Structure 1
Amino acid sequence: MSNVDLQKIRKQAENHYRNGDFFCSEAIVKTIRDTFCPTMPDIVIAAASGFPVGLGGAGCMCGAVAGGTMALGLIFGRTEAKSERVTTAMRLSKELHDTFSKRHNCLCCRVHTRDMELGSPIHMDQCIAFTGEVAEETAKIIIRELKK
């Protein structure tokens, strides 16, 4: 884990979004998957497709944070009923939520994009930056937790 380049993760996620390959949540899940669990099937990226633009365009929770939360679940989530792993995934997701919320005052996509035209340069710049930031923050959490 010491050889993971956080700036590279940030740039990869940003480029997936910037190049039009994926939206925020998908870009983060793909980047984290490719970095930490590359043998995981592509279907996990598809599972992130409903989250962009505040949960499918509804303007609610930031899709980047949703993607980061999904990525944390890929690494620390549970696959067996009643597994205690859920508490780890939930704790780390709350940490990601709180970090983003503290930096940007809320998680609401509608608030962050108020008065912006969807797809405009200012909208794209902000969302690309959020995507990179959340991918990097998610990777930091994963690296820290895997070292324990």
Structure 2
Amino acid sequence: MIRTLSALCKNEPGVLGQMALECGKYNANILSLAAGETENPEISRIVLCVDGDDAAIDEVEKYLESLDAIIQIDDLSRKDFVDRELVMVKVSMDRANTGQLMQIFEVFRANVVGMGQETVTVELSGDQERVDGLIKILAPYGIKSMCRSGMIALKRGDE
């Protein structure tokens, strides 16, 4: 089962490594990981999308809660949350498909960020379904390279 964990932690060396190591110990596969400072530069938020057995992920969560560097951990999978991901895709482009690609970019509201003689690079921010949809539509045109940021997420509402 895929779970999304959000941890507020002290912004100090080694915390991210400890979290990743613990996931590995319990055979929980990290599908995506995003980390960055919060509104307080002394605190970071780490969002982990983890695939594995529920019991194993529960054990990971318990261990993480026990770390001194962890201030708070939430399993967002059990709450209402909003998520976003950034993707950059470099796709093959020629005179025959330029118009079609531009229409796809417009429909998805993807921004062209670079062009070469034979490729175009676009960026898109959205939920995972939107990002996956763009990738699926662009695949037949020939994706040359791609980079995904991993999911970032926050609980909805005032909590």
Q: Could you say which structure has the higher helix fraction?
A: 1
The structure whose Rg is larger is 2
Give the TM-score of the pair, scaled to structure 2. Answer: 0.24
Give the TM-score of the pair, scaled to structure 1. Answer: 0.25
Q: Which has the higher relative contact order, 1 or 2, with Cα contacts under 8 A spaced 6 or more apart?
A: 1
